[in-house]
Amino acid sequence: MVTIKDVAQVCGVSPSTVSRVIADNPRISNATKKKVRKVMKELGYHPNISARNLVAKSTNALGVIMPSSTSKALQNPFFPEVLRGIGSAIHHMKYSMSLSTGDTEDEIFEEVKRMVYGSYVDGVILLYSRANDPVTTFLRERDFPFVIIGKPYEYENEITYVDNDNIRAGKEITEHLIHNGHERIAFIGGSTDLFVTVDREKGYSLALKEAGITSNEQYKVHTEFVRSGGEEAVASLFSLNNPPTGIVVSDDLISLGVTNMLRQSSYEVPKDISLVSFNNVYLAELTQPPLTTVDIQIYELGIQSARALIEKTMNKNEPTKRIIIPHKIVYRESVGKIK
């Protein structure tokens, strides 16, 4: 391995001079800079990160924590897409990303501790937001820089987070159904442990209320991402006296499941029933019919969270921020007009 000393020796300068050239220190003459750079290239010199990190007491790396993967939820295309966003921001800032996937809550917590205690990373991005999350508490108590993608359960004002305005998005997409003449509108969501679900449902309720439609508890269904149980829940929706004519589904992946249950019961979208959902992952245009869905700009969520976190690591008392990424509705063919 070629070190700073080797370069220095060949150049006939001191190691510190070489170091300064690397940092592009303005107090080094252009002549020496040029010479040193030439030699660095010739010898194939590359700075050793560990050595640099040791003295700098910082790693220029961010930790990214995936949610517990006990459920199949991780197969949601949401994740590769945020990772891409984070990756892009990180690349441009010359940072690196340390990824942690953990099967259980404990495993995740362990990994975070390793990252933080071992000074593996300068900050952490949480790809989930859960109630009573030991990780969040840990990070908060240590005052270790972190951001959440999604809305924090507690201490909302003390935690920097990047999210969509899910209430508004939920409202708007429901209104789209209303504008198309729908009045009997159901909501199918994932676990209520997740804030996204809750917020999107809030928006749904709000839209109904504003439109003067009385909401119907029987129209609200919560199901896991996985098949099991989901079918019955949806089936029950259609055994009602007044089955819905439109459904707001909280996630494209769930929509896929719903579409198919519908088809099994010989309901046709959008003729018999209209469907709208959220995320606009690649799948949404692959289904038949393609889904009208809220594009939440997943990639951008990734970029912004990484940027916000990097700012925080560079300046410990950067103020807490709440960054809301705009959404937009993508109109496709899953919605029909009533009457």
CA distance 129 to 136: 9
Q: Please identify which residue in 3, 19, 69, 320 interacts with a second copy, judged by CB under 8 A.
A: 69
Closest C-alpha among 284, 279, 67 to residue 164: 279
**Residue 30 CB partners (closer than 8 Å, separation 6+):** none
Beta pairing partners, 96:
61
Q: Please identify which residue in 96, 191, 215, 216 interacts with a second copy, judged by CB under 8 A.
A: 96
Could you say whether residue 70 binds a second copy (CB under 8 A)? no
Q: How far is the CB of 57 from DNA (least distance, A)?
A: 7
**150 to 189, contacts with a second copy by CB under 8 A?**
none
Mapped onto helix, strand or coil, the DSSP state of residue 260 is helix
Could you say whether residue 320 binds DNA (CB under 7 A)? no
| Both structure tokens of 192 | 């209520």
Q: Which part of the chain contacts a second copy (CB under 8 A), choosing from 96-104, 159-167, 205-213, 312-320?
A: 96-104
Q: Please identify which residue in 39, 41, 42, 48 interacts with DNA, judged by CB under 7 A.
A: 48
**53 to 112, contacts with DNA by CB under 7 A?**
54-57
Could you say whether residue 91 binds a second copy (CB under 8 A)? yes
Could you say whether residue 317 binds DNA (CB under 7 A)? no
Nearer to a second copy, 128 or 168 (CB): 128
Could you say whether residue 29 binds DNA (CB under 7 A)? yes
CA distance 37 to 20: 11
Could you say whether residue 83 binds a second copy (CB under 8 A)? yes
* 177 close to 166: Cβ distance less than 8 angstroms: no
**Residue 142 CB partners (closer than 8 Å, separation 6+):** 116
φ, ψ (nearest 5 deg) of residue 141: -65, -35
Q: Please identify which residue in 4, 221, 284, 294 interacts with DNA, judged by CB under 7 A.
A: 4
Locate tokens 């897409």: which residue?
81
Locate tokens 């940072």: which residue?
95
288 binds, among a second copy, DNA, none (CB under 5 to 8 A by kind): a second copy
Could you say whether residue 331 binds a second copy (CB under 8 A)? no
Nearer to a second copy, 207 or 269 (CB): 269
* 189 close to 250: Cβ distance less than 8 angstroms: yes
Number of amino acids touching a second copy (CB under 8 A):
64
Q: How far is the CB of 72 from a second copy (least distance, A)?
A: 5
Closest C-alpha among 157, 161, 151 to residue 124: 161
Closest C-alpha among 215, 196, 195, 197 to residue 205: 215
Could you say whether residue 287 binds a second copy (CB under 8 A)? yes
Could you say whether residue 260 binds a second copy (CB under 8 A)? yes
* 50 close to 120: Cβ distance less than 8 angstroms: no
Read off the DSSP letter of residue 254. Answer: H
Could you say whether residue 337 binds a second copy (CB under 8 A)? no
Q: Most distant CA pair in the chain: distance in Å?
A: 90
Closest C-alpha among 253, 183, 260, 249 to residue 222: 249
23 binds, among DNA, a second copy, none (CB under 5 to 8 A by kind): DNA
Read off the DSSP letter of residue 279. Answer: E
Binding site for DNA (CB under 7 A): 1, 3-5, 12-17, 19-20, 22-23, 25-29, 31-32, 45, 47-48, 51-52, 54-57
Contact positions toward a second copy, by CB under 8 A? Answer: 1, 46-51, 53-54, 57, 59, 61, 64, 66, 69, 72, 74-77, 79-81, 83-84, 86-88, 91, 94, 96-103, 107, 110-111, 114-115, 117-120, 225, 227, 253, 256-257, 259-261, 263-264, 281-283, 285-288
